[in-house]
Amino acid sequence: MKVTAASADSIPSGTPIWGVPVASGDDGPRHAVPPGQFDLGLADRPDPAWCKRHGFSGKVGQTLVLRSPVPAPPRQTGDTDGPSAAVAVPPPGIVLVGVGESSAFCADRGLESLRRASAAFVRAVGGGESAILLLAAVSDLAVGRSAEAAAVGAALADYRYDDYRSGDRPERLESLILGVGAPSDVSAVGDGATRGVRIAESVALARDLVNEPPSSLTPLKLADTFVRTLAGRAGLTVEVWDEDRIAEERLGGLLGVSRGSAQPPRLVRVEYQPPDAVVIDGRVPHLALVGKGITFDSGGLSLKTAGGMETMKTDMGGAAAVLGALDAAAALGARIRITAFAPLTENMPGGSATKPGDVLTARNGKTIEVLNTDAEGRLVLADGLSLAAEAEPDAVVDLATLTSAAVVALGKEIAGLLGTGDHIVEEVRAAAARAGEPVWPLPLPDDYRDHIESEIADMRNVGRAGQAGSISAALLLAEFVGDVPWAHLDIAGPARSDENTRYLTKGGTGFGVRTLVELVTSDEFARTLVQTNVP
């Protein structure tokens, strides 16, 4: 989808559908932009009683297609707000789009309201050549940020994964115009829209990978996707390790998980050296990323149920998010150094599969007793995090569809956030809030370390049954980052959506891409990396 900006005097003639943002309030809905900026024939505000009869309150994401004249509120004594007569709807139509409470239309919450509102408008329009949505600027942010949020919501709502469908595909909206009242804002809104669309493209890349059938997206194919997407672009170098190199590099966790599969494992290492690097205190900030890449998880010998396997192609969502973030970082000119690692394998119950009771030795020499082969993500991440720590970054962030316990604790829409560096954890939380990807910090208490104590090895790969599963998994991961500040996102819930809602489409969500982009393109985060390089 193409998203552009235009002021009232430059709207293309013949634009068929207009979206008008409406805010909710105690006294009823009100337009979120002055309708007088555009010649739409609307009253200064819609009649609250009329809106109530039509079930429209201005709640975020509500839409109402106008098919009849809209009355203004009845005039009160001394009221000068406009006519009380019915106002004709200019053909062919207007869609009222709810943006939520006007008092809350600010900061991060306002940006998320815009994403959801623009997504709702795109879904209401359906298809066609073009439509225009009047841009409601978030009160305390630059209009470019508002435009970026609106563009992200619109483009992601337009996403479809149709690679394996036969027959005609649903019509889609080709172009969205963001209408702004002041001609002086057009440039900033256009730049914000361009950035938003580019971010959405990287999210769509991650979604496509998660949605790809697992027998098609093997570890080799996913590694090749990293190469095809990133190699040759300014600042980016990609290295792929085969199974022999993986063995030479002593990645015992990755090798152990891969044993049961006929598909060989891969380890992808990506280096981003920014062409226009920011230098703080004499050096370039350096972030390491690690993404779990289990292209299909059967559970290994600790076999999942048939129902439990239905969505296990999603288990490479962390690696997909890292690829999407690198794609966007290079396109948007991120100015910090990034080193990324993606351990890729299947987890299958073949004749050579790792058995419960086996002990694996990870890259950093620590040993892990495997008591449940379905707790495999932490085994491959042990190697990925060890490599990340060896790269001597200022901080490490990993993403993984790691534990069902995170879904039990936080549901399907919120990721768990844990880590060993308070400043880095807070930066990730703040970036996720700005991006509209909800996370919730969980504790990482030392007292729970005995949950993963092993009788024969340095640790075991599962904690106590029914207790703090996400925390015990993170405590294991913490053994492999050394003293490097580290944040861990358990995205087991939000990596996949069970329905078409807001700007999500059923299937892979690309969760984490937008949060990482917020991080790596933030000047404040760059300063934090340099100034806070100890836990």
- Active-site residue (options: 378, 429, 496, 502): 378
Asked if residues 439 and 511 have their Cβ atoms less than 8 Å apart, the reply is no
Q: How far apart (Å, rounded) are the C-alpha atoms in residues 126 and 228?
A: 33
Angle, CA 178 vertex, CA 33 and CA 91 arms, to 5°: 75
User: In the numeric block, which tokens belong to residue 265?
Assistant: 């494992």
Query: What residues does 177 pair with on adjacent strands?
Result: 4, 132
Q: How far apart (Å, rounded) are the C-alpha atoms in residues 73 and 322?
A: 51
Asked if residues 495 and 210 have their Cβ atoms less than 8 Å apart, the reply is yes
Q: How far apart (Å, rounded) are the C-alpha atoms in residues 323 and 513?
A: 8
Ramachandran class of 509: left when φ > 0, alpha when ψ lies in -120 to 50, beta otherwise: alpha
DSSP H or E segment with residue 430: helix 422-435
Nearest to 178 by CA among 348, 364, 405, 4: 4
Quick check: is 460 catalytic? no
- Active-site residue (options: 59, 221, 233, 304): 304
Q: How far apart (Å, rounded) are the C-alpha atoms in residues 8 and 180?
A: 7
What's 231's DSSP letter?
T
Q: How far apart (Å, rounded) are the C-alpha atoms in residues 147 and 136?
A: 9
Query: Measuring CA to CA, how many Å separate 289 from each of 149, 242, 314, 411?
Result: 25, 20, 19, 25
Beta pairing, strands 367-369 & 359-361: antiparallel
5-25 burial: b if 16+ Cβ within 10 Å, else e:
bbbeeeeeeebebbbbbbbbb
Q: How far apart (Å, rounded) are the C-alpha atoms in residues 352 and 374?
A: 15
Query: Measuring CA to CA, how many Å separate 391 from each of 239, 272, 388?
Result: 14, 13, 5
Q: How far apart (Å, rounded) are the C-alpha atoms in residues 458 and 437?
A: 35
Q: Cβ–Cβ contacts within 10 Å for residue 117, how many?
A: 31
Quick check: is 378 catalytic? yes
Catalytic residues: 304, 378
